């Protein structure tokens, strides 16, 4: 292999993910693969910070390894970041090139990117929001001894509660404010949460923020919402949908509810950067309103969901500007200082749950009882 044919590295990852949006640790592991059969003998890595107002690469690099020889055998397939401390809620680009065999000329650069989440506890400044709700009904204490004992059958719908909807009109910028060039929404819940802005779903994850030991910590995700908030200043509305999830729903073999709590809460923090370099942080406040009058009458991981679309008309446009929420309930704002530090928020690590496949119905069956059954052919 000659110097002119050294291929660029491929499959660049940061903490085992391709171009992650919310790196959760201050020293993530960088990695790449060397195409072909000739192993790399040296590498060079450069990491640069992006200007949040312009998106341009800033000089000098926050980390530049220079040419670094690779021991034989290599000590590790991952390279821990070793530059200046990474800054929370910041975008970075990085590139790598390699040398193979005895070549004096390196490969072309291969480039990728990553963004950091909120890396320090002090960066989490927004409060929690608790919608008006009836607490989750606790099941009788169960054990393996009573698991198969005869029980009085109560329809699920008589015990489960409707999903909670929360809407909040976001602060409107002055007419002369610089346009938004970067926006990140940090999102969590005690329960499971879905978010939307102006009626458009945020992100592609489901069952967020995932199951953790809520007595110890709760994770939060980060979403890029720049496209939803950029452009001329105009009204915007944030919507949250809360379900019981693992926090309050049924999550054990004995089917007990309320493993961690009986009241659902949501949390969000919006970070904005404008073209003039100014930064703003928004969070929940008392202008938010909530309701349980939507079409999703209950949502439980073990039992499933019940939806009544006859109720959908009453909440059309609920997560968009201009909706009349005067009949909705007030919310309770819980300052983050009142949350037990032992259950603090932490950045989400790893790959979230996503929809990977959609199956069309193969058959629509009407049973003798008049029930409609969808057969997906699986």
Q: Which residue has the tokens 């991952």?
A: 78
Give φ, ψ of 364 to 5 degrees.
Answer: -115, 115
Distance CA 255, CA 154 (A): 13
Distance CA 70, CA 45 (A): 13
Give residue 246's Cα distance to chain centre. 16
pLDDT at residue number 180: 93
Q: Which domains does the chain have, with CATH numbers?
A: 3-115 (2.60.40.10), 121-136+158-355 (2.60.120.260)
Phi-psi region of 43 (alpha: psi -120 to 50; beta: other; left: phi over 0): beta
Q: Which residue has the tokens 């204490």?
A: 141
DSSP, collapsed to helix, strand or coil, labels residue 93 as strand
pLDDT at residue number 1: 44
In 3D space, the residue among 288, 292, 117, 268 whose CA is nearest the CA of residue 194 turns out to be: 268
pLDDT at residue number 2: 46
pLDDT at residue number 370: 94
Q: How many CB atoms lie within 10 A of CB 212?
A: 16
Global pTM value: 0.91
1, two tokens: 């292999």
pLDDT at residue number 346: 94
Q: One digit per residue, pLDDT tens: the chain, 378 residues? A: 444 578 999 999 999 999 999 999 999 999 999 998 888 999 999 999 999 999 999 999 999 999 999 988 877 889 999 999 999 999 999 999 999 977 689 999 999 999 999 999 999 999 999 999 999 988 877 666 666 666 666 776 678 999 999 999 999 877 788 999 999 999 999 999 999 999 999 999 999 999 999 999 999 999 999 999 988 888 999 999 999 999 999 887 777 888 899 999 999 999 999 999 999 999 999 999 999 999 999 999 988 999 999 999 999 999 999 999 999 999 999 987 777 776 789 999 988 999 999 999 999 999 999 999 999 998
* Residues 6+ away with beta carbon under 8 Å from 327: none
In 3D space, the residue among 318, 272, 335 whose CA is nearest the CA of residue 168 turns out to be: 318
Largest Cα separation within the chain, whole Å, is 78
Contact 365, 373 (CB under 8 A): yes
Distance CA 259, CA 108 (A): 54
Residue range 179-205, pLDDT digits in tens: 999 999 999 999 999 999 999 999 999
Distance CA 57, CA 321 (A): 36
HSE-up of residue 81 (Cα within 13 Å, Cβ side): 28
Phi-psi region of 125 (alpha: psi -120 to 50; beta: other; left: phi over 0): alpha
Residues in the chain: 378
pLDDT at residue number 3: 45
């Amino acid at each position: 292999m000659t110097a002119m044919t050294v291929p660029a590295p491929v499959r660049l990852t940061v903490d085992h993910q391709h171009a992650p949006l919310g790196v959760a640790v201050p020293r993530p592991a960088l990695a790449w693969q060397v195409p072909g059969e000739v192993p790399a003998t040296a590498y060079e890595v450069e990491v640069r910070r992006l200007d949040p107002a312009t998106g341009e690469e800033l000089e000098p690099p926050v980390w530049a390894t220079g040419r670094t020889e690779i021991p034989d055998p290599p000590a590790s397939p991952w390279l821990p970041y070793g530059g200046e401390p990474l800054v929370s809620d910041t975008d970075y680009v990085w590139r790598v090139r390699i040398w193979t065999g005895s070549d004096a000329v390196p490969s072309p650069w291969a480039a990728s990117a990553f963004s950091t989440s909120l890396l320090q506890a002090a960066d989490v400044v927004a409060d929690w929001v608790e919608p008006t709700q009836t607490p989750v009904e606790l099941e009788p204490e169960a054990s393996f001894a009573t698991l198969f004992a005869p029980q009085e059958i109560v329809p699920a719908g008589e015990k489960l509660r409707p999903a909670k909807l929360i809407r909040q009109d976001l602060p409107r910028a002055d007419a002369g404010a610089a346009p938004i060039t970067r926006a990140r929404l940090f999102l969590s819940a005690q329960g499971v949460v879905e978010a939307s802005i102006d009626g458009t779903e945020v992100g592609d994850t489901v069952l967020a923020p995932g199951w953790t030991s809520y007595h110890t910590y709760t994770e939060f995700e980060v979403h890029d919402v720049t496209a939803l908030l950029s452009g001329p200043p105009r009204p915007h509305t944030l919507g949250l949908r809360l379900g019981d999830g693992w926090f309050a729903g049924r999550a054990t073999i004995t089917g007990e509810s309320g493993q961690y709590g009986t009241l659902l809460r949501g949390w969000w923090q919006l970070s904005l950067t404008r073209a003039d370099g100014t930064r703003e942080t928004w969070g929940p406040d008392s202008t938010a309103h909530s309701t349980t009058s939507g079409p999703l009458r209950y949502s439980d991981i073990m039992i499933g969901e019940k939806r009544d679309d006859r109720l959908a008309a009453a909440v059309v446009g609920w997560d968009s500007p201009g909706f009349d929420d005067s009949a909705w309930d007030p919310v309770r704002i819980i300052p983050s200082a009142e949350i037990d530090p032992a259950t603090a928020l932490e950045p989400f690590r790893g790959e979230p749950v996503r929809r990977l496949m959609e199956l069309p119905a193969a058959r629509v069956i009407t049973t003798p009882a008049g029930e409609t059954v969808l057969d997906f052919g699986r």
